[in-house]
């Protein structure tokens, strides 16, 4: 094994461990009902995000996002129905006593602390404020609830919590003696956004391309092996398929160990999540993306530049490389570097998706599931892993570790890069619909195995397993998005739905068709050995000559 292949395997193993940290989160960041904050009369609002649009001296300025309280009147959903009101800084700042300001349906801004949220709201209402903005003492949004002993609430103004940085910006506007007015409204998010449709097509299309490439490579290797066997009647050659030196087969032990290692990586990401750590992940992602883009580009271009693809040169540290690889590599590196530098611009998601898809396809070429037994163990472990780190981890860490890591809540950035993402096109809140690499990669390992088996067994599309595995995956991912919308945008563990559909379909069809034992153990159909077959024919010909 040369250094190039060793580095490739090491890098891909590390990246697979990282990408599976986010394989559960698909979209959604709206804060809704919380079981820890039960509803009661006068305190029964849903938690909703609120847009706070500002105007300075009549000119539209910055927009901030807050969260509405359990108490108070509900906030209008349409911008045209929301009134502009003057913003006043409370005196005293905490509004724990009656404000000294003269208010006439103005919005009052107060600091959090020193008394109950409802006390602040009551004082603001008594002073004739039209709404109250409570500034948090942290960067995060906090859900404002009622105390257990508060049963006679009668608050008729909206109450909104804003993060600390938003409060700092608003205070600077007010201190500069400007006339500041605000408008509060909470637009509803559409049930389905077209971005989710494109993301579904992207995931299914990636597995489709990777499967056909993997099956084609396996069939070419089998044909090449048969040719070598036919040319070597006088010796028993190695029965390993030609080209398998570039393939990594997962076994049962490594499938189990992989999920354990992935869990350790997830906890490490959760504990160490910061700006510099995300930068490190960006570097790793770029290296993997360059490798994937280079592999896919060379495979595609070699059809037109056959001579450059088959002419090789030795490069120190990297081993033997084709001239085509050397020609393509600078463009792939430049693409990744440009994305990394400009990854915060609005259209950078395109570059991230291109690098991500190329990486996934490359991994599915190099890493193989050898049989259904290993695929079942891997997906079953991933299924439990997904559920644990999305749901059960809330009991241990008081928040969903998977979702926190995927969104990069503590990093100051828009999450880690091991995601495919598309902007939500008709969502007033903007944001992205996202899917983790693991939601494509792990089921993709089983689906690419199904097409390799079908081609080696000479099965038709309908009589094989690939078509039904692809349909099952597509349905499982579709159900994930349905569940996401039914759960009001809370992130969903996609493998919770994808694994039963995909694996269940495969196992059921295998048992029904009588192929389950071969699929479970060998992972490929029994083929007559050309060497033995040709030797038998050779002996028969000699026997005929003797007669």
Q: What is the DSSP string of 414-476?
A: S--S-EEEEE-SS-TT--EEEEEHHHHHHHHHHHHHHHHHHHHTT--TTTSSHHHHHHHHHHH
The mean predicted confidence, pLDDT, of the chain is: 82
Measured between alpha carbons, how far apart are the two ends of the chain, in Å? Answer: 51
pLDDT in tens, 331-358: 999 999 999 999 989 899 999 999 999 9
Query: SS in 3 state form for 496-545?
Result: HHHHHHHHHHHHHHHHHHCCHHHHHHCCCCCCCCHHHHHHHHHHHHHHHH
pLDDT tens, position by position, 382-431: 899 888 888 888 888 888 788 777 766 655 555 678 889 998 888 888 77
46 falls in which pLDDT band (50, 70, 90)?
confident
Q: Kindly name the residue from 106, 111, 226, 386 that is annotated as catalytic.
A: 386
pLDDT at 204 > cutoff 70: yes
For residues 463 and 11, the model is more confident at 463
b/e map of 299-316 (b: 16 or more CB within 10 Å)? bebbeebeebbeeeeeee
DSSP codes of every residue in 97-108: S---S--SS-EE
The answer to whether residue 544 is catalytic is no
Question: Taking Cα atoms as reference points, which of 274, 291, 306 lies closest to residue 336?
Answer: 291
Structure tokens at 327: 């020609």
How far is 51 from 54, CA to CA, in rounded Å?
Answer: 10
Question: What tokens does 283 get?
Answer: 């570097």
Give residue 454's pLDDT.
93
Q: Which of 106, 427, 439, 454 is catalytic?
A: 439
Give the pLDDT score at 108: 92
Residue 245 pLDDT grade (very low, low, confident, very high; cuts 50, 70, 90): very low
Of 268, 287, 78, 306, nearest in space to 188 by CA: 78
Tell me, yes or no, if 439 is annotated catalytic.
yes
Task: Compute the average pLDDT of residues 422-443.
Answer: 86
CB neighbour class for 525 (10 Å; exposed up to 12, middle 13-18, buried from 19):
middle
Distance CA 464, CA 453 (A): 8
Dmax (CA) of the chain: 121
Contact predicate 53/70, CB 8 Å: no
Is the pLDDT higher at 191 or at 425?
A: 425
Beta strands in 295-396 (DSSP E): 312-315, 319-322, 367-368
Q: Is the pLDDT of residue 15 over 80?
A: no
CA 444 to chain centre: 15
With a cut of 60, say whether residue 461 has pLDDT above it: yes
Containing 380, the helix (H) or strand (E) segment is helix 372-387
pLDDT at 162: 92
Indicate if the pLDDT at residue 28 is higher than 50: no
Residues with Cβ within 8 Å of residue 6, at least 6 apart in sequence: none
Cβ neighbors of 254 (< 8 A, separation 6 or more) are none
Residue 101: what pLDDT? Answer: 84
**Domains of the chain, first to last:** 45-185 (3.50.30.30), 194-230+246-526 (no CATH)
């Amino acid at each position: 094994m040369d250094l190039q292949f060793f580095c490739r395997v090491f890098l891909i193993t590390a990246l697979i461990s990282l990408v599976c940290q986010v394989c559960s989160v698909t979209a959604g960041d709206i804060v809704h009902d919380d079981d820890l904050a039960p509803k009661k009369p006068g305190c029964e609002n849903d938690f909703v995000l609120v847009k706070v649009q500002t105007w300075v001296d009549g000119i539209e300025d910055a927009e901030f996002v807050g969260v509405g309280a359990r108490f108070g009147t509900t906030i209008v959903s349409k911008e045209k129905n929301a009134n502009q009101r003057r913003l006043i800084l409370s005196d005293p700042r905490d509004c724990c006593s009656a404000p000294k300001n003269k208010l006439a349906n103005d919005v009052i801004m107060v600091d959090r602390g020193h008394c109950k949220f409802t006390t602040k709201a009551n004082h603001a209402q008594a002073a004739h404020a039209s709404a109250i903005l409570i500034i948090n003492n942290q960067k995060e949004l906090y859900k404002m609830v009622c105390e257990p002993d508060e049963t006679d609430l009668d608050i008729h103004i909206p109450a909104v919590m804003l993060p600390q940085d938003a409060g700092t910006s608003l205070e600077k506007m007010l201190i500069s003696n400007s006339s500041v007015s605000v408008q509060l409204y909470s637009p509803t998010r559409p049930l389905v956004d077209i971005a989710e449709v494109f993301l579904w097509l992207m995931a299914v299309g990636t597995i489709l391309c990777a499967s056909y490439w993997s099956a084609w490579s396996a069939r070419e290797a089998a044909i090449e092996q048969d040719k070598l066997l036919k040319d070597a009647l006088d010796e028993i050659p190695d029965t390993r398929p030609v080209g398998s030196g570039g393939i990594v087969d997962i076994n049962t032990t490594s499938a189990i160990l992989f999920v354990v290692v992935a869990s350790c990586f997830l906890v490490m990401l959760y504990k160490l999540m910061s700006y510099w750590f995300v930068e490190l992940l960006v570097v790793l992602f770029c290296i993997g993306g360059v490798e994937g883009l280079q592999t896919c580009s060379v495979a595609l271009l070699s059809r037109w530049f056959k001579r450059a693809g088959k002419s090789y040169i030795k490069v120190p540290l990297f081993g033997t490389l084709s001239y085509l690889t050397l020609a393509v590599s600078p463009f792939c590196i430049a693409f990744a570097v440009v994305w990394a530098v400009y990854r915060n611009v609005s259209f950078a998601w395109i570059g991230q998706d291109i690098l991500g898809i190329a990486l996934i396809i490359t991994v599915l070429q190099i890493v193989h599931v050898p049989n259904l037994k290993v695929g079942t163990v891997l997906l079953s472990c991933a299924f439990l892993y997904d559920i644990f780190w999305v749901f059960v981890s809330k009991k241990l860490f008081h928040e969903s570790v998977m979702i926190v890591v995927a969104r990069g809540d503590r990093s100051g950035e828009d999450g880690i890069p091991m995601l495919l993402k598309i902007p939500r096109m008709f969502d007033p809140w903007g944001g992205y619909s996202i899917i983790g690499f693991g939601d494509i990669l792990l089921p993709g390992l089983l689906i690419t195995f199904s097409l390799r088996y079908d081609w080696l067994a000479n099965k038709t599309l309908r009589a094989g397993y690939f078509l039904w595995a692809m349909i099952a995956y597509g349905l499982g991912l579709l159900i994930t998005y349905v569940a996401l919308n039914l759960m009001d945008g809370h992130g969903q563990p996609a493998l919770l739905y994808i694994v039963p559909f995909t694996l269940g379909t495969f196992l059921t069809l295998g048992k029904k068709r009588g192929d389950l034992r071969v699929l479970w153990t060998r992972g490929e159909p029994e083929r007559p050995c050309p060497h033995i077959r040709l030797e038998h024919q050779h002996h028969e010909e000699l026997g005929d000559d003797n007669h």
